[in-house]
């Protein structure tokens, strides 16, 4: 399954990453630990960015 990292917008395979988190019952995938930590620090910032680009 191809997913987009919500932090850096890079496309990658969800099966290839150990970095996932659930937020508001939505599962998010991250390509790196750095991206996951950035998301966890300020989730609303990145979720808002996703909604805006749709």
Determine, following the binding rule CB under 5 A, whether residue 36 of this chain makes contact with Zn ion.
no
φ and ψ of 51, to 5 deg: -65, -40
User: Near Zn ion by CB under 5 A, which window of 11-19, 21-29, 34-42, 43-51?
Assistant: 34-42
Contacts of 21 (CB under 8 A, 6+ apart): 27, 28, 30, 36, 39, 40
Binding mask 4-33 for Zn ion (x = CB under 5 A): -x-xx----------------------x--
- Which residue in the set 3, 28, 29, 35 belongs to the binding site for Zn ion (CB under 5 A)? 35
């Amino acid at each position: 399954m191809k997913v987009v990292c919500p932090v850096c917008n890079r496309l990658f395979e969800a099966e290839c990453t150990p970095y996932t988190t659930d937020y508001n019952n939505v599962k998010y995938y991250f390509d790196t630990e750095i991206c996951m930590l950035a998301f966890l620090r300020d989730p609303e910032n990145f979720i808002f960015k996703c909604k805006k680009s749709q």
